[in-house]
Structure 1
Amino acid sequence: MSNILLSSRAFINKNITRSFINLLGNVDFEIDQIVIIVNSVKEGKNHPKMIELQKTVQALGFKNVILFDALADNPIILENAKAVILNGGYEFLLLDNLKKAGIIDFLQKLAIKGKTFYGISAGAIVLGPDLDLYDELYPEDNINNDIDMTSINATGFRIYPHYDAHLKLDGHLQETISNFEEKTGKSITRLTNEQGILIRNDEGILIGPDK
């Protein structure tokens, strides 16, 4: 059983925010822990975007919002969490750090058991099966020259976030992704900055902006 939300940007509209809350089921805002994994950026817990996301989740009413460094903190924190959020940043850095910490399989098992996961941008990518598309599109980001692109594989969905914004910057992006899909047989879900996808038992529902 999977309870997963993926989006390009964090809590960007009411529909995405509502979907996150609904995934949690019964909530105790005083006690329940929401854990944010910070390893997609070098600065970790000190990065302004991580602190900003922590405050955003607190503004939803959660009193117990934890910034989690996979390389330093106890994984039991993840097991005890009501939800685990993988924030945006650099997908290769995030995957490398999670592999160094030895928690890829642990995260996958938590997802299979039904733990709520919310992946944002790079976090959404790494919750999928692999980074094969990104190794082809942006090989310069693979700074450690990783060969194994296998990711958490909490869901079969492969995400390309910020598709609308990136399409304006790269006129060949649509063709490049389509060629990748045809060559590999792997389908890519393209999300605009305003979109998310709600995944339950590997069935996805596209979430658009508020009308």
Structure 2
Amino acid sequence: MNKRLLLLSNSTNYGEEYLSYPRQEIKAFLGASIKKVLFIPFANVISYDGITEKVGKVFQELGYGIDSVHSTLNPRALVENAEAIVVSGGNTFHLVHRLHEAGIIDIIREKVNNGTPYIGWSAGSNVACPTIKTTNDMPIIEPMSFEGLNLVPFQINPHYTDGVVPDHNGETRESRIEEFLAVNPNITVVGLPEGTILKIENSSVKLIGDKNIVVFKSGEARKEYGKGADLNILL
């Protein structure tokens, strides 16, 4: 398995600067040989230019240039020549809709499967999964399908929390995942709390962060795993 992925639950922890907590992990993951990343801003519904500038500032501070896929008439060529691929958060349905529209799902998958580093947060982590069915987002647009990039063999629920809002009678995150598993019993779901990262390389999975992830499988009790746990069961 030649794939290298850095899958973040979220971009920014409460009270911190944008992309503050993962900066050093991003730097270590990309290393010195990569000079420029390809950014995919399609999850941001408000402004591609705005989010590209925001993300670009951080990556430039880390020593990397940035090209955005929205700024070209030939997105496939940009993907084909990418040294690394970065996908930000926002609305997962909009992200997948635009990926299909741009015709780049297959080429992203091929690139990452052949070793091009991939970094995603929130929606960018969701879309790395086989499907986007474990997103938290509203379906504000109807994509061609719920198919994701299928870069990992499990589903991620980003921003995962066991928290319950007082006096709120809606479903918990866990109950929604249980509903998913009732209909899709053959796949594992990882609840990825904010501030945590899954790093996948050399056919292994490493948890980065101080919170436990929660792993859900159909017909089994949920299991929590902390830093240092063997997570290769996910692969």
Aligning the two structures, in what range does the TM-score lie when normalised by the shorter sequence?
0.7 to 0.9
Q: Which residue number in structure 1 is paired with residue 226 of structure 2?
A: none
- Aligned residue-pair number: 199
**Does the alignment pair 1:66 with 2:67?**
yes
Q: 1:151 aligns with which of 126, 148, 152?
A: 148
Q: Which residue number in structure 1 is paired with residue 113 of structure 2?
A: 112
CA distances 1:23-76 after superposition (whole Å, capped 9, x unpaired):
334425xxx1112111112344323x33211111111122x2222218744322
Specify every segment of 5 or more residues in structure 2 that has no aligned partner in the other structure, as ranges: 12-18, 212-235
The Cα of 1:22 is off from its aligned counterpart by 3.2
| Pair 205,44 (structure 1): closer, same or farther in 2 beyond 3 Å | same
One-letter amino acid of the structure 2 residue matched with residue 141 of structure 1: P
Q: Is the 8 A contact 2:196 2:210 kept in 1?
A: yes
Q: Is the 8 A contact 2:157 2:192 kept in 1?
A: yes
Find the structure with the greater CA-based Rg: 2
| Pair 56,209 (structure 1): closer, same or farther in 2 beyond 3 Å | farther
Q: Which residue number in structure 2 is paired with residue 95 of structure 1?
A: 96
The Cα of 1:114 is off from its aligned counterpart by 0.4
TM-score by length of 2: 0.74
Separation (CA, whole Å) in 1 of partners of 2:43 and 2:101: 13
| Pair 91,181 (structure 1): closer, same or farther in 2 beyond 3 Å | same
Q: Which stretch of the first structure deviates more once superposed, 125-134 or 36-45?
A: 36-45
Separation (CA, whole Å) in 2 of partners of 1:81 and 1:197: 22
Q: Is the 8 A contact 1:71 1:97 kept in 2?
A: no
| Pair 175,83 (structure 1): closer, same or farther in 2 beyond 3 Å | same
Q: Which has the higher helix share?
A: 1
Using CA pairs below 8 Å that are at least 6 residues apart, which structure has the higher relative contact order? 1
**Does the alignment pair 1:174 with 2:195?**
no
Q: 1:56 aligns with which of 55, 58, 70?
A: 58
| Pair 184,151 (structure 1): closer, same or farther in 2 beyond 3 Å | same
**Does the alignment pair 1:45 with 2:42?**
no
TM-score by length of 1: 0.81
Q: Is the 8 A contact 2:75 2:104 kept in 1?
A: no
Q: Which residue number in structure 2 is paired with residue 129 of structure 1?
A: 130
Separation (CA, whole Å) in 2 of partners of 1:129 and 1:71: 27
The Cα of 1:106 is off from its aligned counterpart by 0.5
Q: What SS does structure 2 have at the residue aligned with 1:141?
A: coil
Specify every segment of 5 or more residues in structure 1 that has no aligned partner in the other structure, as ranges: none
Q: Give the aligned CA root-mean-square deviation in angstroms.
A: 2.7
Q: Which residue number in structure 2 is paired with residue 19 of structure 1?
A: 25
Separation (CA, whole Å) in 2 of partners of 1:203 and 1:155: 11
Separation (CA, whole Å) in 2 of partners of 1:157 and 1:19: 22
| Pair 168,54 (structure 1): closer, same or farther in 2 beyond 3 Å | farther
Percent sequence identity over aligned pairs: 23
The Cα of 1:107 is off from its aligned counterpart by 0.5
Separation (CA, whole Å) in 1 of partners of 2:134 and 2:72: 26
Q: 1:35 aligns with which of 34, 38, 63?
A: 38
Separation (CA, whole Å) in 2 of partners of 1:161 and 1:193: 7
Q: Is the 8 A contact 2:6 2:199 kept in 1?
A: yes
Q: What SS does structure 1 have at the residue aligned with 2:75?
A: coil
